[in-house]
């Protein structure tokens, strides 16, 4: 499938350009925030020489363009510098915290697609009936409050008043899981510990659902709207006139063409969950990138700020590439087009 490979290559190339732009921007912004990172890192008792030494070590006295040159040279070697907050390589910190956040976002994404799309399909199929009205009400509720509000509400309802789920954390302390991928749901299975897996899954349900709720609502509403439009197309009337089963018309003949326009937005919503995850993580004490990110920004930990933002941007871009490829896979017109998609 040559056109797909070409699409992928083109998307990767533009993503690289975007990443370079993002790095310049965040590099400059991080240095504009008031405060001397060396002084903050060394604390109030540091001498002037110590501060001057650290500034020299961090190249802080050079021109910003020269600084950026140093930074890019390091990045090319896979080095994002040392965090002044943890005194460890930023890459190591990110490797430690990112998987928890990604795990949360991925599970929320699966919920968004796995719950939102079927709700949208049912809603469109039973348009105007009771099921449709109930689903529309639920999805409106979902989109009308931000995820951190849902996080608090869900936590109060299902972890506090009705203690069905754990109130915080990723897994109970009684389980010792050696980190291989950093994804607890994967590591527990690798270790063959089903009970630990169940425990980790039990912990992730509430935060992931809180994070996913607005996406579920959005996905259901989009799918419904696009499908209602598709239901008026001649090819649906044709499918009906041939007596194709109503379920097959809904799930295939009407859903597939409707999914294509929805998918771009769903992809963006999914990527936006990375940002929303920060607040949900804070509420559920989820040991992800959020606590790290907030701490390094407050401490003006330049390397860590730039590193964190770059990783999140890269993830965002990756999601977009995946969505573009999915759309191309679903839409034969794009797949077989020789023109740029």
Partner 1 sequence: MSTPTLDIQNLTLGFKGYTGFTEVLHGISLSVNPGERVALVGESGSGKSVTARIVLGLLQELRTARIGGSVRFEGRELDQLSRRERHALRGKAMSMIFQDPTSSLNPVFRIGDQFHDVLRRADPAISRDAALERAAAILAEVSVRDAERVLNAFPFQLSGGLNQRVMIAMALANEPALLIADEPGTALDVTVQAQTLHLMRKLVEEHHTAVLFISHNLGVVREFADRVYVIYKGRIVEQGATRAVFEDARHPYTRALMAAVPRLTGGGIPDIEENSPDFGAPLEIHDAEARA
Binding site for partner 1 (CB under 8 A): 233-235, 237-244, 248, 252-253, 256-257, 260, 330-333, 336
φ and ψ at residue 82, rounded to 5 degrees: -100, 135
Closest approach, Cβ 338 to partner 1, in A, equals 13
Task: Please list, in sequence order, all residues whose beta carbon lies within 8 angstroms of the beta carbon of residue 324, skipping any fewer than 6 positions away.
Answer: 7, 11, 341
Quick one: tokens of 312?
Answer: 């999140």
290-299's contacts with Cβ under 8 Å and 24+ in sequence apart are 290/101, 291/97, 292/93, 292/97, 295/85, 296/83, 296/85, 299/37, 299/40, 299/41, 299/84, 299/85
Quick one: tokens of 315?
Answer: 């993830």
Of 170, 163, 164, nearest in space to 184 by CA:
170
- The span from the CA of 229 to the CA of 221, in Å, is 12
What are the C-alpha distances in Å from 36 to residues 41, 87, 276, 307, 323? 9, 17, 29, 19, 41
User: Cβ closer to partner 1: 158 or 244?
Assistant: 244
For the chain, the 3-state helix, strand and coil shares in percent, each to the nearest 5, are: 75, 0, 25
Closest approach, Cβ 41 to partner 1, in A, equals 56
Quick one: tokens of 287?
Answer: 């040991």
- The span from the CA of 96 to the CA of 182, in Å, is 7
- The span from the CA of 133 to the CA of 173, in Å, is 44
Closest approach, Cβ 121 to partner 1, in A, equals 15
CA gyration radius, the chain? 24
- The span from the CA of 167 to the CA of 13, in Å, is 43
CB of 280 closer than 8 Å to CB of 211: yes
Where is 20: in which H helix or E strand? Answer: helix 2-32
Quick one: tokens of 128?
Answer: 């105007």
Quick one: tokens of 279?
Answer: 């607040």
């Amino acid at each position: 499938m040559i056109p797909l490979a070409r699409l992928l290559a083109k998307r990767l190339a533009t993503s690289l350009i975007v990443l370079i732009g993002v790095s310049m921007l965040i590099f400059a912004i991080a240095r504009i925030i008031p405060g001397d990172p060396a002084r903050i890192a060394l604390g109030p008792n540091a001498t002037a020489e110590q501060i001057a030494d650290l500034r020299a070590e961090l190249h802080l006295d050079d021109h910003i363009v020269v600084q950026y040159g140093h930074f890019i040279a390091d990045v090319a070697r896979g080095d994002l510098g040392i965090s002044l907050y943890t005194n460890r390589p930023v890459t190591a910190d990110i490797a430690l915290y990112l998987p928890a956040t990604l795990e949360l976002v991925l599970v929320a994404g699966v919920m968004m697609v796995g719950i939102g799309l079927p709700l949208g399909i049912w809603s469109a199929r039973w348009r105007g009936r009771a099921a449709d009205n109930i689903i529309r009400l639920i999805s409106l509720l979902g989109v009308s409050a931000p995820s951190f509000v849902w996080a608090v509400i869900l936590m109060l309802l299902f972890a506090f008043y009705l203690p069905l789920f754990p109130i915080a954390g990723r897994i109970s302390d009684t389980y010792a899981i050696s980190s291989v991928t950093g994804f607890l749901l994967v590591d527990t299975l690798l270790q063959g510990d089903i009970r630990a897996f169940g425990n980790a899954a039990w912990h992730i349900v509430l935060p992931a659902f809180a994070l996913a709720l607005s996406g579920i609502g959005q996905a259901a509403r989009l799918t419904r709207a696009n499908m209602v439009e598709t239901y008026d197309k001649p090819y649906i009337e044709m499918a009906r006139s041939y007596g194709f089963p109503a379920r097959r018309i809904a799930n295939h003949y009407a859903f597939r063409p409707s999914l294509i326009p929805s998918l771009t937005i769903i992809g963006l919503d999914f990527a936006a969950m990375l940002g929303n995850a920060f607040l949900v993580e804070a509420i559920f004490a989820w040991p992800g990138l959020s606590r790290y990110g907030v701490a390094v920004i407050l401490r003006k930990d330049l390397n860590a700020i730039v590193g964190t933002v770059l990783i999140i941007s890269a993830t965002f871009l990756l999601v977009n590439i995946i969505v573009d490829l999915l759309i191309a896979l679903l839409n034969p017109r794009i797949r077989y087009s020789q023109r740029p998609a």
